[in-house]
Each structure stands twice: as structure tokens, then as C-alpha cells.
Structure 1
Amino acid sequence: MNWTDERVEKLKKLWSEGLSASQIAAQLGGVSRNAVIGKVHRLALPGRAKAGGTPTATRAKRPAAAPRPSNFAPRVVTRTVARPAGATVVKEEVAFEYDDAPLARIDTNVVLPMSRRLELTELTERTCKWPNGDPLTDDFHFCGNESPDNSPYCLFHQRLAYQPSAERRRMR
């Protein structure tokens, strides 16, 4: 299959109208969808036009956030990002709004169980094997509190280690 000047012009015209590669291949005849995609790529054609308006017109607008009484003002940064548009990638300028406010507060009203601070050689079948700290430092230790039958962890660390599947799904 040879790409003549007339077929290339027809390809460009159909591509700019927003037809898919499969539709263009069917109209050209004797050419596969992948051949059309390859030619579009080699010609470096811009992204296909979408039926029903521009891509920015069809995007859902984010509702304006209510003003927060804080000392932190959001800052707007403009970056160039690439997004797929049909078989090609289009670069566009996008404004990102960054909020310098802290993301989360640390709750200081949490009760942690006292650790017995056992070393590896001091662990038994009835002690909690929850590691604390960095294993490469001298301060590393295991919880060492009493653990119930058939569990490597105490009741507190069991709640951290074993989450019900419904909670894991909600966190995603």
C-alpha cells in the first residue's frame, strides 16, 4: 500500500474532522487501522477533534471551594502537561492550585501501650513481635507485650496489622 499525496490529504482531512483510525481506514480502503495510526504519528498530526466541541468545553468544571479562614493562601502554578488525544499526545498549559496549608493534624490524644522493648533473642511464642524503629540502629526493639493464642501481635498491634476487607476497600 502506497501513501499517495491524495490519500495523505484525505487522511489529514478525515483526522481533523474527528474520525477514528478505524473509520479512516474504512474510507480509504486497502489500509489497516494500525497503518493509519502509524501515518498519523509520522505526520505528527495534532490530536483529533472531538465531536460536540472542544475538549476544554466538555470537561466538568470543579465547584469553587469555599474560602477558608486561614493564614495560608493558595498559589497558582502553570505547567505544561501532556495528555492523550486520540492516537497522539497533546501538550497544553494547565494551572495547578497549591494550598500551603498543612494536610493533616496529628492527634496527640492517642494512647499507645507501653512496650517491653525486647530484643530478637528475648521473643517467645506469647510475646508481641511488632517491630519498633529502624533495624540498623541501636534503639530498635520489639513490642514484647503479651499476645493472645495463635497471633504474633498484641491486641493493639493486631488492630493495626489486620484490617477488615471492607475498611481496605473504603480507603482506596
Structure 2
Amino acid sequence: MNWTDERVELLKKLWAEGLSASQIANQLGGVSRNAVIGKVHRLKLSGRGRASAAQPRAKKAPAASPAKSGGSRPMRTVTASVGATALAVQFDAEPVARQVLRPAADVVVPMSRNLSLIQLTERTCKWPNGDPLSEDFSFCGNEAGESGPYCGYHSRVAYQPASERRRTR
């Protein structure tokens, strides 16, 4: 399939009208959705349905009933050609509420013995302190239990109960 001047102009017109790449491919015929996306990217076609990509995007207005608004259509989400990505959807999203975990009141952070790798044994906590590439890097070194490589405090930090993991999802 060759991109003739007429087909390119039709592509630009349909893109500006807000049709999807699949819809444009169907109207052009003999071309895939990916070919349309690639051509849009090579032509550097910007946002659809607006005069310039530099203009601020209007907030989505609530859809009015056609009887009250004289037949106006509700606004829709538009896509734009952005950098190396062919299409990126632009939309106004509400900020996501982040869950804040409060530390337990009775938590006591133990003093580390700051052991080097050579000083560690089977019974010492192997929790790393600091950057491994710095000279003052060390390990916790406190007494580790039978159940793992860390002391009681670092075990609670390293391993979350399954019920806590399910709650944060």
C-alpha cells in the first residue's frame, strides 16, 4: 500500500476528527491500524480536535441532555502523538489517595553492632546498613533468631504478614 497525497490528507482529516487508528484503517482500506499509527507518528500529528497542542486542555464538562443544550455533543477523551509513543491518552484524573501506615507505638529500633561481612555468623542479623559501596557500610549484627537471617526487629520490617499484604492492595 502506498501513501498517496489523497490518502495522507484523508488520514489527517479523520485524525483531526478524532477517529481511532482502527476506524481510520477501515475507512482507508488496505492498511493496518499499526500502519496508521506509524504514519501519524511520522507526520508528527499532534492532538486531535484542537487547533494547537500548546493550548491548555479544557476540563471535561458534564454531559448535558440534548434537549436542554440544543443538541451539543458531550466532550470526549482525546489522544495525541507524544514523543516516541505513537498515541498517549490524555485525561484528567483524580489524585490517588495513598495509604499511610502508622508505626506501632511499642516499636523499639535496636542499636546495631555494625559488623563487617567477615564478622557475621549464623546467629547474627544480616540486615545491611547504608550503601554497600561506601566505607562505613555494615550489618546490624544483633542476635538473630532460629527462624531466619534477621533479628526480631528487622524480621518484622522484612516480612509482612499475608493479611497486611492483602489489605494494601
Normalised TM-score (structure 2): 0.54
1:85 corresponds, among 68, 79, 88, to: 79
Structure 1 residue 47 displacement after superposition: 2.3
- Give the aligned residue type for 1:36: V
Q: Who is 1:40 aligned against?
A: 40
**Is 1:58 equivalent to 2:51 in the alignment?**
no
Partners of 2:5 and 2:131 in 1: CA distance? 67
In structure 2, C-alpha distance between the alignment counterparts of 1:8 and 1:134, rounded to whole Å: 56
- Partner residue in 2 for 1:23: 23
Do the aligned partners of residues 142 and 28 (structure 1) sit closer, same or farther apart at CA in structure 2, a change above 3 Å counting?
Answer: closer
The answer to which structure has the higher strand fraction is 1
Deviation (angstroms), 1:148: 1.8
- How far does residue 153 in structure 1 lie from its aligned partner after superposition? 1.8
Alpha-carbon RMSD: 3.7
Q: How many residues align?
A: 126
Deviations 1:42-96, CA, capped at 9 Å, x for gaps = 332222339xxx9532299xxxxxxxxxxxxxxxxxxxxxxx934x128xxxxxx
Gaps of at least 5 residues in structure 1 are 61-83, 91-108
CA–CA distance in structure 2, aligned partners of residues 149 and 156 of structure 1: 14
Quick one: which amino acid aligns to residue 152 of structure 1? Answer: P
| Residue among 153, 156, 161 paired with 2:153 | 156
Q: By how many angstroms is 1:115 displaced?
A: 3.6
Cα distance in 1 for partners of 2:4, 2:37 equals: 16
1-side partners of 2:116 and 2:43: how far apart?
Answer: 66
> Alignment partner of 1:46: what SS?
coil
Give the letter aligned to residue 2 of structure 1: N
Identity %: 68
TM-score for both structures, normalised by structure 1: 0.53
